[in-house]
Structure 1
Amino acid sequence: MKLTLVPARTGAVWVKLGMQTFFKQPLALAGLFFMFMALMSVATMVPLIGLPLAMTLLPAVTLGLMVASREATQGRFPMPLILLTGFRAGPVKLRAMLTLGAIYAVGFLCAMGASYLVDGGGFATMYLGGKAPTAELMENSSFQMAMWTFIGLHLPLSLLFWHAPALVYWQDITPVKAMFFSIVACLRNFWALAVFAALWMGVMVGAVLMLTALSGALNAPTLGSVMLLPALLLVAAMFFTSLFFTYRDSFEAPGDATPTKE
């Protein structure tokens, strides 16, 4: 396995490819993303073990979205079962995926637990409840410290797992090695990923501003609030579509996938 170094501008290429690929198979990729969201939501509803279960499943299900993106780049229609690719790749890879998931779940819960110790659970309750923080809450110093504690711990955890499921699946390496190579690749291609993240944040903010302007122009104040969630979910689906390209161009191409040419 060989790590590939890419220039910062490749981050913009990844965003562009994610959008282009999504619109090649919009129904399939949007449907798979909504299935992904539904699966995570259902998993969290399991009494007592819901959150750890969802976090354990997350790496393997995210891999399914990456495999779907690869299928779309090759002109094929990704079928719903592709979302379960990580669970259907044989006993060895299944154990590896579940091991990755278990490690991620422990790391996530530790990060969330650390934030709980800072503010007594205010940030954790808001985050896990999927609620937007109020202005009063955002001004609370303990809440801010808890938020930054979680972000500071979760960011390196995310880098460890950014490429790990794909490396286990396509490169046949162990979970621990996959995590190591993942964070090394992310750090070596830091500026490309920084551009990638900044552009997706810009796309999300742009979508919000566009809806706000449209609702104002049409004098329909409820239009923005009604369309906001579908618009953000659409952006999220394109973001997940683009993850495959960050992996593909950071390592030797899996199978017959072709790296981005600069």
Structure 2
Amino acid sequence: MGQTRPGSVPQAAGGADGAVLQLHVPDADRRHDPAAGAALPSLLAPLFSVALLQACADVDHGKRAFPLLVTTGFKKPVRRPLLQLGGLYLVVALLALTALRLLGDDVFSQIDTTEAVRIDKETLEKLQFPILISALISLSGWLLGCPAAPLIHWQKMTLAKALFFSVVTVGRNFKAFITATVTLYLLCQLVVLVVSLLAAFIPLLALTLMFSTVLLMIVLVHCTLYVAYRQLFGTPPASPEAVDLAKR
């Protein structure tokens, strides 16, 4: 595995899964292929997303959610449209990374040609605008397409139809969706700030808390999306394999 250079700036943004996958990609490959760490998580995100949403539905029906639900998105007939949706997520991720690279070309060119890069205040200021634009592209793509996965899963829609109803739904309820998105974002930033402060005193604990926070935020985002779906489209059915807790 390649060695990470001191002060280097990560170039791939694929969420928590992307960060984990990046650890297994050689450093030289990441420099020349910034999408490597984001490809698989972006492609498979909808398949695992419906598993979490189905778990929410099972719990909502008073039933137990089993780990076997992780295979929900891999079953026919929803597997193909979910993979196609993942392909669109990957395109959005590549657009965001391209914007980041182009707008911050001077900074990344310095990183590519220098063995040790010092990330100072001036460098961070140069990256603020590129990171903002990249984040807005990613956020817009996710926001407009977030209802598509549950529509494919529960309504058995095609990708085109699911995307159409997804965009229309978000457009008609834009204030609610943007409020939820901003709230989740601010909550995440608050937790990251607290963990960063702890890192100055207990680095190992901060690292553990950061990983736990990422997992909790993923669950929280899907719980929020499930509630939004139930409010807009009605309560989805529980999975056939779910066990009714009231009968045990």
Q: TM-score range by the shorter chain?
A: 0.5 to 0.7
1:171 equivalent in structure 2: 155
Amino acid at match of 2:63: R
Distance across 2 between alignment mates of 1:109 and 1:212:
28
Distance across 1 between alignment mates of 2:57 and 2:125:
43
Distance across 1 between alignment mates of 2:40 and 2:179:
32
Q: Which of residues 218, 221, 227 is equivalent to 1:239?
A: 221
Amino acid at match of 2:134: F
Structure 2 residue 62 is matched with structure 1 residue 75: yes
Q: Structure 1 pair 121/60, CA: closer, same or farther in 2 (3 Å)?
A: farther
Is the Cα contact below 8 Å between 2:57 and 2:236 reproduced in 1? no
1:108 equivalent in structure 2: 93
Q: Structure 1 pair 222/44, CA: closer, same or farther in 2 (3 Å)?
A: closer
Distance across 1 between alignment mates of 2:164 and 2:130:
27
1:253 equivalent in structure 2: 235
1:146 equivalent in structure 2: 130
TM superposition shift of 1:105? 0.9
Structure 2 residue 83 is matched with structure 1 residue 98: yes
Is the Cα contact below 8 Å between 2:230 and 2:236 reproduced in 1? yes
Is the Cα contact below 8 Å between 2:57 and 2:237 reproduced in 1? no
Is the Cα contact below 8 Å between 1:57 and 1:98 reproduced in 2? yes
Distance across 2 between alignment mates of 1:37 and 1:59:
15
Report 1 or 2 for greater relative contact order, CA contacts < 8 Å, sequence distance ≥ 6.
1
Is the Cα contact below 8 Å between 1:66 and 1:241 reproduced in 2? yes
TM superposition shift of 1:156? 2.5
TM superposition shift of 1:173? 1.1
Please report the TM-score for the alignment, with normalisation by the length of structure 1.
0.64
TM superposition shift of 1:241? 2.5
Amino acid at match of 1:137: T
Q: Which of residues 166, 169, 191 is equivalent to 2:175?
A: 191
TM superposition shift of 1:256? 6.8
TM superposition shift of 1:170? 0.7
Task: Point out where structure 2 has 5 or more consecutive residues left out of the alignment.
Answer: 1-14, 112-118, 240-248
2:40 equivalent in structure 1: 53
Is the Cα contact below 8 Å between 2:184 and 2:221 reproduced in 1? yes
- SS of aligned partner of 2:64: coil
Q: Residue by residue, what CA displacement relative to the aligned partner does 1:234-260 show, whole Å, maximum 9, x if unpaired?
A: 641333332211222122432379xxx
1:222 equivalent in structure 2: 202
Paired residues, number = 205
Distance across 1 between alignment mates of 2:215 and 2:41:
22
Distance across 2 between alignment mates of 1:151 and 1:209:
18
2:166 equivalent in structure 1: 182
Please report the TM-score for the alignment, with normalisation by the length of structure 2.
0.67
Identity %: 27
Q: Structure 1 pair 37/63, CA: closer, same or farther in 2 (3 Å)?
A: farther
2:52 equivalent in structure 1: 65
Q: CA-atom RMSD, angstroms?
A: 3.5
Task: Point out where structure 1 has 5 or more consecutive residues left out of the alignment.
Answer: 1-35, 127-132, 258-262
Distance across 2 between alignment mates of 1:68 and 1:232:
20
Distance across 2 between alignment mates of 1:44 and 1:164:
30
